């Protein structure tokens, strides 16, 4: 990825947030991202980015289901 990118990691509070193994979403360029917890096991992620800029997205990580819009 280039210098300007958007990335989202899923980790417990108080843990480091720069671990590549915890990454669940990446996109080219800097983008605004909104995150909303529907409940303890469902996360909704909305990126204000173009579809072609999305590089990576995970739909399930560690018992958490992730939905994208």
The 10s digit of each residue's pLDDT in 9-42 is 998 888 777 778 899 999 999 999 999 999 999 9
Of the candidates 62, 46, 43, the residue with the CA atom closest to the CA atom of residue 54? 46
What confidence score (pLDDT) does residue 27 get? 95
pTM: predicted TM-score of the whole model, two decimal places: 0.85
């Amino acid at each position: 990825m280039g210098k300007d990118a958007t990335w989202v990691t899923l980790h417990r509070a108080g843990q480091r947030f720069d671990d590549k193994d915890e990454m669940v979403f990446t996109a080219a360029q800097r983008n605004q991202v909104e995150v909303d917890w529907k409940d303890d096991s469902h996360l909704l992620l909305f990126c204000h980015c173009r579809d072609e800029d999305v590089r990576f997205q995970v739909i399930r990580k560690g018992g958490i289901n992730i939905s994208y819009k």
